[in-house]
Chains A and B, each alone.
Chain A
Amino acid sequence: MSTRTVAIASRTGLHARPAALFVKAAADQDVPVRIRVGDGPAVPAASMLAVLSLGAGHGTEVTLEADGPGADAALDSLAALLARDLDAEEAADA
């Protein structure tokens, strides 16, 4: 199993817009990706409710997991997304 651990960069945490972008990106991957906080249960990264239930705030370290061909590429892309301040990008758009 491949894993990546990354701190949530979005200033308001993994909810709302950052969560919506992340969940959509996770659903678009070729492999199922799971996400967890610390040693907590890993939940489907493509489920908005599951991702919101993590309660991951700014700076919270989350771990992404996936198996199979393409897992590393999927995790690299999703980890890079979480390492960006997606809220700042919203402010820039406005």
Chain B
Amino acid sequence: MPDLLDRAAIRLDAVAADRDDAIRQCGHALEGVGAVDASYIDAMVERERSVPTYVGEGVAIPHGTLAGKDAVRHDAICVLRFPDGVDWDGHLVKLCVGIAAKGDGHVRLLSELAQILLDPDSARALRESANVDEVIRLLQPAAQEVPQ
């Protein structure tokens, strides 16, 4: 099994016109590493309209609807940073962690991610690091594959 976080799914200097654009870029990043079919991208936008995925600390975690799970080929996350920020229903988002997960994999993944973000130093480092390796290291607990 590949790691959940592929280097190719990390972009530190993304620019988005608006929230939906940012979500679609996350979807394309997940599609680019073979984690989802293109239809998942619409499911991510749809999910956001139904339930915003802003979680605090300048971070949003866009992901698909339950119905979109059929479009997931394997569990994965992507990391897109928007240094200029994206207006997210009135919140300023600088970091998107896009999530593709089948079954219950996302619960553990979200838990690990939330624990990292609850540490203000880690959250700040994730928002500001100029280095892909550091981003991977910071997310390591979340990105490790657990034996199924």
Compute how far the CA of A21 lies from the CA of B100 in the bound complex, rounded to whole angstroms: 21
Size category of the B interface is 20 to 34
Find out whether the CB atom of B66 lies under 8 angstroms from the CB atom of A52.
no
CB of B132 closer than 8 Å to a CB of A: no
Task: State how many angstroms separate the Cβ of A83 from the closest Cβ of chain B.
Answer: 18
Overall SS of chain B's interface:
helix
CB of B108 closer than 8 Å to a CB of A: yes
Task: State how many angstroms separate the Cβ of A50 from the closest Cβ of chain B.
Answer: 7
Find out whether the CB atom of A90 lies under 8 angstroms from the CB atom of B108.
no
Given contacts A16-B47, A16-B51, A90-B66, contact A49 B107 (CB under 8 A): no
Compute how far the CA of A1 lies from the CA of B47 in the bound complex, rounded to whole angstroms: 37
CB of B42 closer than 8 Å to a CB of A: no
Per-residue interface assignment for chain B, residues 45 to 63, with 1 indicating a CB less than 8 Å from any chain A CB and 0 otherwise? 0010011111111000001
Find out whether the CB atom of B57 lies under 8 angstroms from the CB atom of A55.
no
Given contacts A53-B111, A55-B107, A94-B67, contact A20 B118 (CB under 8 A): no
- The contact of A48 among B55, B65, B106, B112, by CB within 8 Å, is B55
Find out whether the CB atom of B57 lies under 8 angstroms from the CB atom of A52.
no
Across-interface contacts of B110 in A (CB, < 8 A)? 15, 52, 55
The 8 closest A-B pairs by CB, nearest first: A55-B111, A52-B114, A53-B114, A13-B107, A17-B51, A57-B107, A48-B55, A20-B51
Binding site for B on A (CB under 8 A): 12-17, 20-21, 47-58, 87, 90-91, 93-94
Question: What are 14 A-B interface contacts by the 8 Å CB criterion?
Answer: A12-B106, A14-B107, A48-B54, A49-B55, A49-B117, A51-B114, A52-B55, A52-B110, A53-B111, A53-B115, A54-B111, A55-B112, A58-B104, A93-B50
Given contacts A16-B53, A47-B56, A52-B113, 18 further A-B contacts (CB under 8 A): A12-B106, A15-B106, A16-B63, A17-B50, A17-B51, A48-B55, A48-B56, A49-B56, A49-B57, A49-B117, A50-B114, A50-B118, A55-B112, A90-B50, A90-B65, A90-B66, A91-B67, A93-B50
